[in-house]
Amino acid sequence: MLKDVFNEQLVKRATTPLDVFLRVLLLLVLLVVSVVAFWFIPAFALMVVVAAAFGAWWLNGRLNKEFEYALTNNDLDVDVIYNRAARKRIFSGDIKAFEMMAPVTDTSREVEAAFARAQATLDCSRGRPGENTYAFITHYNSKRIKVIFDPNDAMLALMAKRLTPQKFYAKK
């Protein structure tokens, strides 16, 4: 009989070129809005610029992401944390319901075929595939999804004990 377990892990999302592009775009939009506001509606320009700056600041904060994985017995919960302030649950499921779990670098036909059958992909990883980047297939919100994540060795060992060997593909 397996003991009760609890393991928690925090993973910071790496800055991607798309994030840099979006931040530059936000700055340019803020600049354009400021110029247009002072040019066409000078009476309300300061309010428009302050509102646009607040919106840009808020959107910029949404680009700073961290993922928290919490494994409690057989339940895996994944939360996204925006700008170290706002938290949102994006996945919650029983690991015994996973169809399979394998490293994203696994190129076997069986694994690639299972990953290809997913209707949606949820990327909860660092953003750069590494040695401990895994994906699993499961049903969530009436869809067959592929979830990509970066469990540490302790979490991976706990999950491997609870998954059947037919569902878990270890590192090669």
For the entire predicted model, the pTM comes to: 0.81
pLDDT of residue 73: 86
pLDDT of residue 76: 92
Q: Cα separation of 51 and 68, whole Å? A: 31
Q: Are strands 134-140 and 143-149 parallel, antiparallel or unpaired?
A: antiparallel
pLDDT in tens, 29-83: 999 999 998 888 888 888 989 999 999 999 988 889 999 999 998 899 999 999 8
Report residue 152 as tokens: 């540490």
Q: How far apart are CA 168 and CA 43, in angstroms?
A: 64
Q: How far does Cα 95 stand from its chain's mean position?
A: 18
Q: Is pLDDT above 90 for 89?
A: yes
